[in-house]
Amino acid sequence: MKVQLTRLAHARSGDKGDTANVGLIALEDKFYPILVREVTAERVKQHFKGTCLGEVERFELPNLGALNFLLHESLGGGGTLSLMTDAQGKTFSTALLRMEIEITDQEASEVHV
């Protein structure tokens, strides 16, 4: 079944130049493998189609139950050059949490869907 990421994770995002970073953190340790399986760099690139014009990189932090994504060319030039309301990418965190992912019935019972 499909579930929105916000049921499984919280997040914080920020910027480095024209790159937005999104740290995605499992709400419970047992959700982390689901994030690793479902929230791939390709899926994130697709999710931010039209916003992220460059590559998406993904890094794993199993110690924190977290994934870190770098979304290149996403902030309208970044820093002071950007005309965007969110030039620092602060709201990319919850934008990612909108993503719908596929989980099994067993997993769904653990997420209490």
Partner 1 sequence: MKQKIRIAAGQGFWGDLPDAPVRQVEGGPIDYLMLDYLAEVTMSIMQKQKARDPNAGYAKDFVPLMRRILPACVERGIKVTANAGGVNVRGCADAVIDVARELGLGGKVRIGIVTGDDIMSRLDELLSRGIELRNMDTGEPLSTVRDKIQSANVYLGAWPIVEALNQGAQIVITGRATDTGLTLAPMIHEFGWSNDDWNRLAAGTIAGHIIECGGQVSGGNCQYEWRSIPNLADVGFPIVEAAPDGTFVVTKHERTGGWIIIPSVKEQLVYEMGDPREYITPDCVADFTTVNLEYEGRDRVRVFGIEGRPATEFLKVSISYSAGFKAVGTLVYAWPDAYDKAQAADRILRRRLDRLGLKFDQVLTEFVGVNATHGPLAGPPHPDIPEVQLRVGVRGQDRSAIERFTKEIAPLILTGPPAVTGFAGGRPKVEEIVAYWPALIPKEEITPVVEVLT
- Positions touching partner 1 (CB under 8 A) are 10-12, 14-19, 21, 23, 25, 27, 47-51, 59-66, 68, 70, 76-77, 79-81, 83-86, 90-91, 93-95, 98
Amino acid at 24: L
**Residues 15, 96: Cα–Cα separation, whole Å:** 15
**Residues 8, 110: Cα–Cα separation, whole Å:** 10
Tell me how far, at minimum, the Cβ of 74 lies from partner 1, in Å: 10
Q: How many CB atoms lie within 10 A of CB 31?
A: 20
Tell me how far, at minimum, the Cβ of 1 lies from partner 1, in Å: 21
Judged by CB, which is closer to partner 1: 84, or 113? Answer: 84
**Residues 52, 78: Cα–Cα separation, whole Å:** 12
Tell me how far, at minimum, the Cβ of 113 lies from partner 1, in Å: 19
Judged by CB, which is closer to partner 1: 87, or 113? Answer: 87
Amino acid at 2: K
